[in-house]
Amino acid sequence: MKIYNHLLATIKHKGAAYLILLDPDKLSEDKIQVFLKHCEKSGVDGFLVGGSLMVNENFELFLSKIKSLTHLHVIIFPGSITQVSSNADAILFLSVVSGRNPEHLIGKHVLAAPSIKKSGIEPISTAYILVESGTTTTAVYMSGSLPIPRNKPEIAAATALASEYLGMKLIYLEAGSGADKPVPDEMIKAVSEQCSVPVIVGGGIRDSATARRKVESGASIVVTGNFFEDENNWDLIKEFSNAIHIKNSILV
């Protein structure tokens, strides 16, 4: 529970945590070091690594490189059962609870559990809730399941509560990488009011004001990916951190 407890402590201390999603397919070898240092300096709290459609065969290598270059926690955000490795600190043990596809609810987990145990990394049981976001996202397509309609916050809240009752430690509201529209504020509010475990929000967040609104609506962790794949945006990382760290930030 070391990494989970650290996340809880960060949320308590800063009001919310900021994680950046690294996609091995998109972050080129020569830029990794500079980017990671930039993130550290800018107050990012940790990294997620993974993706629903990863073609990079050097996942292990990528992870060990990241681990050697940063002191921040590296958490696997698996898109498939091959994304398990001891070169990380933890893994989000995701169950796609918004869908009714048994493979993504429990099937893949049975296959992955023994390798996670062997790797020694910390599994963090996470309810993964896909939210309709304008277009069909990779996550929705790959999971073969329907997302929750964006105008149905009550379905998301009931799903999240059921997940918490089942013992899940995090609720992840996912609009999908590169989503047209991020998870609606009303849905985040409904879910965070029902649940006592932290709510992660990600997908389609491209400016600091939106990130801030997600925290004000009840998100405890905000994730961005795509936006910082463009080097020209790196100077804005600090602005995102400040906006998300609602307790100790000056509003930008």
Q: What is the binding site for ligand 1GP (CB under 6 A)?
A: 21, 174, 176-179, 202-205, 223-227
Among residues 83, 109, 114, which one has the least CA distance to residue 21? 83
Cβ 245 to ligand 1GP, closest distance in Å? 18
Given the complex with ligand 1GP, which of 14 and 214 has the nearer CB atom? 214
Cβ 10 to ligand 1GP, closest distance in Å? 18
Cβ 191 to ligand 1GP, closest distance in Å? 15
Instruction: Report how far apart, in Å, the C-alpha atoms of 170 and of each of 7, 70, 156, 206, 208 are.
Output: 10, 24, 14, 23, 23
Strands (E), 41-152: 46-49, 73-76, 90-96, 122-130
Instruction: Report how far apart, in Å, the C-alpha atoms of 51 and of each of 134, 146, 214, 252 are.
Output: 20, 18, 22, 30
Given the complex with ligand 1GP, which of 123 and 182 has the nearer CB atom? 182
- Burial (CB < 10 A; 0-12, 13-18, 19+), residue 22, is buried
Residue 167 DSSP label: T
Cβ 202 to ligand 1GP, closest distance in Å? 2
Cβ 227 to ligand 1GP, closest distance in Å? 6
Given the complex with ligand 1GP, which of 43 and 178 has the nearer CB atom? 178
Q: Please give the Cα distance from 96 to 235 (Å, whole number).
A: 34
Given the complex with ligand 1GP, which of 55 and 250 has the nearer CB atom? 55
Cβ 39 to ligand 1GP, closest distance in Å? 14
Given the complex with ligand 1GP, which of 113 and 234 has the nearer CB atom? 234
Residue 149 DSSP label: P
Among residues 1, 81, 90, 96, which one has the least CA distance to residue 46? 90
Given the complex with ligand 1GP, which of 114 and 144 has the nearer CB atom? 144
Given the complex with ligand 1GP, which of 62 and 228 has the nearer CB atom? 228
Write the single-letter amino acid at 216: E
Cβ 117 to ligand 1GP, closest distance in Å? 26
Radius of gyration of the chain (CA): 17
